[in-house]
């Protein structure tokens, strides 16, 4: 099937930006994603730079398809005017079909996040070297309309307003992922859930941190108006005050809205503690040459990578709309400090309370132009010193 996609280098993480070449068919994860995985391991012997030089630099017009192709053969396109289009394997062996050579000599086309979705591309595979020398990472991205619906492209047409969201992070040095599962994956970007929240969800009580207001939570029941619950910590004890209370300054720990907030916070902290038992590690690197590129921060859970998004921490305190930074005392490092503590602990209020200390003691001292990593044990030590 002619599901259009992009093979690219990652140039910026959040929001995703990439620069690469067009791939015409079949660009689903179970098609092109799986092919790229196999090429990396087999033909290119885990040399990511060599693979990208061939796929991107030596074939600037892009590809009809590389699925099932033998890269030991000379790449080139063969017109199938006298053969059935579905009999590609009978046309010229299984050579990679590019638009640069053979019966096609098309001009170079640089595909980026700016023009890809408008051209009908639905999937993108953006590659980056990680801070860990033993890991190379492939981001699987998919295009979504502003309404939150998956964009479907056809005949070179799509939605130029569509946005690119990360649906999967693949560590190329570990075991092969479930490609069919990635075909159906939902975005990992926390803002996607925010869009769903704003559109409303039926039949459930939703708890949301009220952006920019310390200790205030919005509780939206399935029916009726939202309620606001204030969390105040006094001498290690948590007190809840809800707008449903008949007395304005009286605590309301047992109302349904306060219980919803308490359960929400408990689930977050339980989930964070379970992840910590698996072993967490955080690492940062820069995309680009000589350490001056865009920063990217990974969180490694049981050795598996994922992106550390700034957005959950920005909802608590938006120090830096541009996201994470490190190596000095400033707004970007403050955002990273808050993001790491929030991801590590799940405790929103204590993360807010401690993140400036964490910034000064740890984040500001990281090498600004070099890759770095922070072990879970080091973060745990900081947390225990300041919480207990």
Q: What residues are paired with 300 via a beta bridge?
A: 281, 305
Residue 241 and residue 232 in contact, taking contact as beta carbons nearer than 8 Å: yes
Using the 3D structure, point to which of 250, 275, 300 is the last residue of a domain.
275
**pLDDT for residue 65:** 95
> In whole angstroms, how large is the CA radius of gyration of the chain?
24
Using the 3D structure, point to which of 208, 242, 275 is the last residue of a domain.
275
Same-domain check for residues 105 and 24:
yes
Same-domain check for residues 175 and 257:
no
CATH number at residue 235: 3.30.160
**pLDDT for residue 367:** 93
Same-domain check for residues 59 and 162:
yes
Q: What residues are paired with 136 via a beta bridge?
A: 129
Using the 3D structure, point to which of 244, 260, 275 is the last residue of a domain.
275
**pLDDT for residue 134:** 64
pLDDT in tens, 67-98: 999 999 999 998 765 344 444 444 445 899 99
Same-domain check for residues 70 and 178:
yes
Residue 112 lies in a domain: yes
Residue 194 lies in a domain: no
**pLDDT for residue 202:** 54
**pLDDT for residue 199:** 47
Residue 117 lies in a domain: yes
Same-domain check for residues 245 and 111:
no
Residue 160 lies in a domain: yes
Same-domain check for residues 213 and 329:
no
- Six-digit token string for 312: 């959950």
**pLDDT for residue 1:** 56
Count of beta carbons in the 10 Å neighbourhood of residue 317: 17
Point out the residues of the chain with pLDDT beneath 50.
Answer: 82-92, 195, 197-200, 290-291
Same-domain check for residues 271 and 293:
no
Residue 178 lies in a domain: yes
Same-domain check for residues 168 and 218:
no
**pLDDT for residue 260:** 92
Same-domain check for residues 131 and 14:
yes
d(CA 367, CA 133): 16
Same-domain check for residues 88 and 177:
yes
Residue 262 lies in a domain: yes
Residue 31 lies in a domain: yes
Domain count, the chain: 3
Range of the domain at 128: 5-189
Same-domain check for residues 240 and 362:
no
Residue 195 lies in a domain: no
Same-domain check for residues 231 and 287:
no
**pLDDT for residue 131:** 58
- Strands (E) located in the chain: 5-12, 17-23, 63-65, 97-98, 111-112, 123-129, 136-144, 163-171, 206-209, 216-220, 227-234, 237-242, 280-287, 294-301, 304-307, 372-375
């Amino acid at each position: 099937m002619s599901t259009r996609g992009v093979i690219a280098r990652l140039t910026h993480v959040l929001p995703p930006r990439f620069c690469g070449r067009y791939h015409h068919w079949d660009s689903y994860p179970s098609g092109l994603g799986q092919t790229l995985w196999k090429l990396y391991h087999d033909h290119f012997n885990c040399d990511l730079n060599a693979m990208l030089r061939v796929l991107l630099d030596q074939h600037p017009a892009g590809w009809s398809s590389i699925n099932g192709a033998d890269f030991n053969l000379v790449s080139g396109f063969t017109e199938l005017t006298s053969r059935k289009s579905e009999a590609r394997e009978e046309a010229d062996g299984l050579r990679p079909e590019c638009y640069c050579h053979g019966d096609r000599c098309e001009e170079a086309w640089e595909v980026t996040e700016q023009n890809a979705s408008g051209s009908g591309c639905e999937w993108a595979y953006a590659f980056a070297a990680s801070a860990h020398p033993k890991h190379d990472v492939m981001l699987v991205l998919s295009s979504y309309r502003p309404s939150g619906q998956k964009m479907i492209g056809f005949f070179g047409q799509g939605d130029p307003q569509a946005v690119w969201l990360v649906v999967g992070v693949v560590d190329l040095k570990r075991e092969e992922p479930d490609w069919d599962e990635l075909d159906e994956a939902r975005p990992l970007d926390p803002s996607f859930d925010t869009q769903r929240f704003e559109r409303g969800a039926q039949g459930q009580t939703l708890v949301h941190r009220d952006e920019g207001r310390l200790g205030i939570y919005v509780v939206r029941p399935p029916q009726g108006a939202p309620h606001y619950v204030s969390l105040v910590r006094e001498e290690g004890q948590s007190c809840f005050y809800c707008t449903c209370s008949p007395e304005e300054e009286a605590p309301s720990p047992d109302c349904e809205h306060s219980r919803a907030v308490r359960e929400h916070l408990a689930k977050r902290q339980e989930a964070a503690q379970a992840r910590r038992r698996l072993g967490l590690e955080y690492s940062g690197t820069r995309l680009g040459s000589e350490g001056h590129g865009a920063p990217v921060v990974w969180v490694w859970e049981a050795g598996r990578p994922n992106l550390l998004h700034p957005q959950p921490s920005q909802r608590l305190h938006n120090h830096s709309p541009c996201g994470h930074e490190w190596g000095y005392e400033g707004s970007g490092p403050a955002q990273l400090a808050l993001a790491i503590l929030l991801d590590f602990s799940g405790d929103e209020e204590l993360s807010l309370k401690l993140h400036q200390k964490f910034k000064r003691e740890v984040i500001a001292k990281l090498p600004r132009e070099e890759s770095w990593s922070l072990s879970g044990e080091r973060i745990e030590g900081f947390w225990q010193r300041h919480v207990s």
